[in-house]
Amino acid sequence: MNPTSAHPAKIPVRAALPAWRATAVWAAVTLAFATIMVQAWRAQVEHGQFLRDQGAQRYLRHFPLPVQRGSIFDRHGKPLALSVPVKTLWVDPQIFSQQHQKWPQVAADLGISVNELQTRVHNGGSHFAFIARQIDPERAEKITALRVPGLYSLNENRRYYPAGSIAAPLIGFTNVDGNGIEGLELAYNQWLTGKAGEETGLRDNYGHPLSLRGPAHAAQPGKALTLSIDRHLQYVAYTSLASAVQRFQARSGAAVLMDAQSGEVLAMVSYPAFNPNDRSDYQAALYNNRAIADTFEPGSVMKPFTIAAALDDQSIQPDATFNVNTNCFRVARFCIQDDVRHNNLDLAQVLKYSSNIGAAKISLRTPPADLFHMLRQAGFGQSSGLGLPGESSGTLPAWQGWDIARRAAMAYGYGLSVTPLQLAAAYGAIANQGVYVAPTLIRQENPGAKGTRIMPAATAARLTQWLTGVTGPGGTGFLASIPGYSVAGKTGTSIIANGKGGFHKNQVNTTFVGFAPARNPRLVMAVVVRGPTQGWRYGGVVAAPVFRVTMAAALQSMGIQPNPALLESATAAHQASASETQRWAEGVGDAAH
């Protein structure tokens, strides 16, 4: 008998696992899964969007979509300001700095030295630096084709001004980011600026888009602006003004041409001006829109309003005459003079010969409040409402403060200051049968009758008739006459104030304001040439020819036919003699005040 069989080997008996152990394992596994599920719930449902956004921020890029700034057109649809697509090159300095071997090629294509490229890279931030802004797209493509890691391109728009300097002070300009900072570009910045778009997606190391995420926010282009300006007339006004400023070696000039009935400004020029397409040679003085910013004592061009105020309150009658036969009409401590001595002058002759003494006598008969209200209603001493930056209101002191000397001086345009635009708009009221229409620079689709009556139609008609004599033979505005057309207007020559209560010895403003055709006025224009130093320095000599050239072009451009009778007599009338030329002169009396 095998003892072993008798006593089978002892098999170690494992004690039965306790029941809690399996339960514990299951519980642990279940708990672990439950924890995972909870975390998964939290990550994907509860905080899902937040985490997705956080992730996206780390690998997605926002690509700005360039917005097109609205164009500016003249009244015939000719462009005055355009935005053209260009490219801007930028780099991520941290990546680009590792590509030194390619820098010479990039610098050569940009037309700069490697040192300059290095400066531009270092001038930027840690992840962004412009190396070339707003360059020709073809040139930019050539550089990006080098496939330099860390070098990227952006689409932008650059502003161009096809009219150049002739409209520059009026149109203004934008900065490199496309925001208007001067002129109409600034005044209508909100209208012209669109809303920038943006799209989000992935880009490779060369900046090329790989995929987009979600719909793009499309850019909304800016709205176009159609001005009342006529580019051709703007050109004619600018060149004739520039010619006068150069010929008489004046300091500056400004002119405004308006439609008398609608108030639309057809031309607004300043000289000297600047080239808005190249502002590297910055001179702040050239950026002024002198037609609205420069104020001056207007001189004799104010006489028609003195007469209108006196006629309206019946201080004088239309057939009144004034004895001006004196070398010195003394008012308080001032001596008022005329440059040519006359005997008795009626109202037409006071204007025709620009008699300071006659105008002062009229003003002294008129209650100052009436003259003040006439000037105020004609737009003096207040903004024109164009909304252009830098516009001056001029000054028109309250009538309560006028002493007798000022009352006399106001009659012939001293003691107040105006802008060329205010003069044009005020004369527009005379041309428009006594109704003042506020000037506008925006093309009016349906110019209807509107405005404020500032004088009776009969008074406006009389003034028009008398002002026509100013441009006739013997009148001070003879050089403003246009063959074939009747022209009404007034010359002005005023000594420039020195800001210390006195006047500069030899510095004058020469002015001409007028309208045509006098029988049915359509256009009104004001011309101011500041500080001529050569030749006959009078409004009738310096400013009137600018009016004639521009107005003639404007009348032809608008299809206003000349009067054949006036055309035939015009040739002989224009043969001015030396003595007639002398009559154009005026302002000696002004100088003595």
Residues at the contact surface with another protein, assessed by CB under 8 A: 68, 78-79, 82-85, 137, 155, 160, 162-164, 209, 211-212, 231-232, 235-236, 483-484, 561-562, 564, 567, 570-571
- Of 165, 300, 315, 363, the catalytic one is 300
The Cα 523–Cα 480 span in angstroms is 14
549 vs 237: CA distance, rounded Å = 8
Closest CA to 436 of 416, 422, 415: 422
Q: How far apart are CA 272 and CA 61, in angstroms?
A: 48
**Alpha carbons 171 and 268: distance in angstroms, whole number:** 10
Closest to another protein by CB, 82 vs 112, is 82
Q: Residue for token digits 């300097």?
A: 165
Structure tokens that stand for 571 in this block: 């040739």
| C-alpha distance across the termini of the chain, in Å | 160
- Least gap, CB of 160 to another protein (angstroms): 6
Nearer of residues 82 and 591 to another protein, judged by Cβ: 82
Query: CA-CA-CA-CA torsion for 528, 530, 536, 541, nearest 10 degrees?
Result: -10
CB closer to another protein, 86 vs 347: 86
* 344-370 burial code (b ≥16 CB/10 A, e <16): ebebbbbbbbbbbbbbbbbbbebebeb
C-alpha angle with apex 369: 367 to 374, nearest 5 degrees?
105
Rg of the chain in Å (alpha carbons): 39
55 versus 77: smaller Cβ distance to another protein: 77
In whole angstroms, what is the distance from residue 387 CA to residue 291 CA? Answer: 13
CB of 210 to another protein, least distance (A): 8
Residue type at 269 in one-letter notation: V
Angle (CA) 277 282 287, round 5°: 75
Nearer to another protein by Cβ, of 119 and 561: the residue is: 561
CA dihedral 228, 229, 233, 236 (to 10 degrees): 160
| Residues forming beta bridges with residue 209, ordered by sequence position | 203
Q: Which residues on neighbouring strands pair with residue 220, listed in sequence order?
A: 195
CB 566, min distance to another protein, A: 10
Compute φ and ψ for 292, nearest 5 degrees.
-125, -20
Question: Which residue number, 13 or 565, has a Cβ lying nearer to another protein?
Answer: 565
Output the smallest distance, CB 135 to another protein, in A: 12
In the complex, least distance from residue 201 CB atom to another protein, rounded to whole angstroms? 9
With H, G, I as helix, E, B as strand and everything else as coil, classify residue 580: helix
As measured in angstroms, the least distance from the Cβ of 571 to another protein is 5
* 265-271/334-336 β-pairing: unpaired
Q: How far is the CB of 82 from another protein (least distance, A)?
A: 6
* Strand 225-226, strand 72-73: pairing: parallel
Closer CB to another protein, 447 or 483, in the complex: 483
Minimum CB distance to another protein smaller for 56 or for 202: 202
**Is 383 or 556 the residue whose CB approaches another protein more closely?**
556
CB closer to another protein, 152 vs 380:
152
Report the nearest approach of another protein to the CB of residue 239 (Å). 8
- The pair of structure tokens assigned to 449 is 């009758």
CB of 548 to another protein, least distance (A): 13
Task: Give the residue with the Cβ less far from another protein, 412 or 547.
Answer: 547
Alpha-carbon distance of 218 to 67, in angstroms, equals 9
Helices (H), 124-216: 137-144, 168-171, 183-187, 189-192
Is there a catalytic annotation at residue 165?
Answer: no
Q: Please name the amino acid found at residue 513.
A: V
CB of 162 to another protein, least distance (A): 3
**Alpha helix segments (H runs only) across 323-454:** 347-352, 356-365, 368-377, 404-411, 420-431
CA distances from 300 to 125, 356, 411 (A): 61, 8, 8
Residue 168 and residue 12: Cα distance in Å, rounded? 108
Min dist. Cβ of residue 137 to another protein (A): 5
Q: Which residue reads 């979600």 in tokens?
A: 214
Return the structure tokens found at 5: 């069989």
Catalytic residue set: 300
